[in-house]
Structure 1
Amino acid sequence: MHFSKVTTKSAKIILDSIKKSKNILLHLHPSPDGDSVGSTLAMYHFLKNIGKKVTLIKGDSSLPQYLSSLPGFQKISKKNFFQIDLNKFDLFLILDASSKSRISQTQKIIFPKKLITIVIDHHPFEGKFTDISLTNTSSSATCQLVYKLFQEWKAKITPKIAINLFIGIFHDTGGFKYFPMDYNSFNIISKLSKICPNFTDYIFEMENNNKPEEIFFKALALNSLKMYFKNNVVISALSLKKLQKNKLQHANKSNISNILKSVTGWNIGICIVEVEPNLCNLSMRTRDSKKYDLSKIATALGGGGHPTAAGAQVKKSLPQVKKLLLKTIQSLHPSLGQP
């Protein structure tokens, strides 16, 4: 059963499934961002408030510490999808993930027959893989869809819920800069800010949470730049060997791709980090999403995202990933010419 927007009917069907469930699973998608964490934590607080037993797992990736000030962050279990027993759950709420690859990319996912699965997301619908799906690409963030569901359910939006939704929308729109941020989104933000008036404290913590290692990571990443397609595409690529040599962990890749995107003339900025042998994470940003839809590039690589910002995790060596990436860009955007 698929719905393309929040209506009284779609909201009721989802709420009925929640009410019938006793033990509910939530998760974060690979390389979780503000919308993944915010929407999931908001739902976590709602479910706990109505007396449900809830388990929230981190999934494939390490937790994004720049979001550690969000209420409920410490409740996230440091387990991945295959370290839990799915048979213990009767409902799996899948937020901000529109395909099985956005649940986990480590193994094949098989749901137990008795497990009810529901997707709530604002990424493009990639086909039915759950019992119920609610996807709406005109929504600025999954947090916006969750807010609308709470409104339909007449749920009390507490300060803990409000700030998680606020930060999710703020983060996924690049600080209210990216489409489809519109008057509806600002209307919701206005209401959330009244419930949690100290929202600026959370924004400050999110944007000023760097550790010294992250600054050194940024320096290393910016020192590895190479330009392609007549300087239209700029790539920062860091090998695991280089990270280990400099005693660094992989940090927030989106910070690097955002910096690259900010340069006039560099239309696509990409950061690739080899996080394990034969496993690379990619973050992509563009200045011109109408001309360069990054979600299509990411999807071709097994990832996902939006036209403006997207990412992927690829099980190949760094040289192989770069080669595949350049080939994919050339295939989708032949007007760019040769790399």
Structure 2
Amino acid sequence: MEAAVFSQDRSGEGGIRGRLCSPMALALLAMPKISGRIVGGGDAPRSRWPWQVSIQLNGHHHCGGSLISSQWVVSAAHCFDFSSLVSSYRVNLGEYQLSYPSPCRVSSLVSQIIIHPHYNGTRSAADIALMQLTDPVQYIDDIRPICWPGSSDSFPDNLTCWVTGWGATDSDVSLPPPKTLQEVQVQLIDTAACNALYNIDPDPKIGRDPVKPNMICAGDAKGHKDSCKGDSGGPLTCDSNGTWFLLGIVSWGDGCGQPNRPGVYIRTVPYGEWIWGYGPRNWVVHLRDEGCQTLLQQLHASLHHFPDLTVTIRRALISRSIVHPVVRPCTVWGQCKTQTGEDLKSATPASLSLHRA
């Protein structure tokens, strides 16, 4: 079964430009500026979550999403209606307060929407979709992609993560003006433990053991912190050794912030190969500094995950400067400095090019 594709213009294949960050997390790190739902949270500081996007339908906020490269956004499949034209959707990047457009906001048209082939409109299916922007966006502090985790990345139960979005603050309470981006900390919950909670006075419409292996729960048993209507498709973001990963996608829940009903998210790890199938075709990262040779070696060693890639490393040793990818898909900000901490902007960058065979 092929993926469902809504498309205005299918003539341009175009892959994901940049990278997915997995399994290259050791070398390229997504870092925020700090070192369908949001309940129990508060206003997020501006620029803290630069991968968060607002998916607009007919000019109104509809769902959340996450920027994973300069031209691709990932969201939830249930956010998209087959009866709606692709031209009805826009993606707003660099958004902060929906009532007052940010000066850094970029509002992008969408060229195609790709629904995962296993999605069938139920809670048990692959609730994940890709949106291709008509043009690549330029990365700035308010617009940057998030890393996609690999199977080797570890996220233990009870890890504290973050959920963000412009959704309702309670089941029947819309986010009030100026509609500032909300954030809330939630804890990861083991699948068995989450099902045990949902099996307490189970909803007949949901049934018993509704949380499947391709899902992950986050929140708490008391139900004070959760995502809510309007947050669907947005990110469940987790920090692992200073790198921010998109661990889950807001999918469903039984109400908002209810006791024994944690939020349920689609796990992203199982869908890495599907994402990779749509790109990138060319993956180019520019690095600086001889101190980054170790990072290059780690990156090269990790490529066994992708046997269809060929690697070219040229001019890998530069005398002095700082890692600063010219193409910033998952940037190492200030990591890998020289011993003297110098930054010679005139230095020629080393170039690491990855190409699909």
Normalised-by-shorter TM-score class:
under 0.3
Relative contact order (alpha carbons < 8 A, sep ≥ 6): 1 or 2 greater?
2
- Per the normalisation by structure 1, the TM-score is 0.26
| Larger helix fraction of residues | 1
- Per the normalisation by structure 2, the TM-score is 0.25
| Larger strand fraction of residues | 2
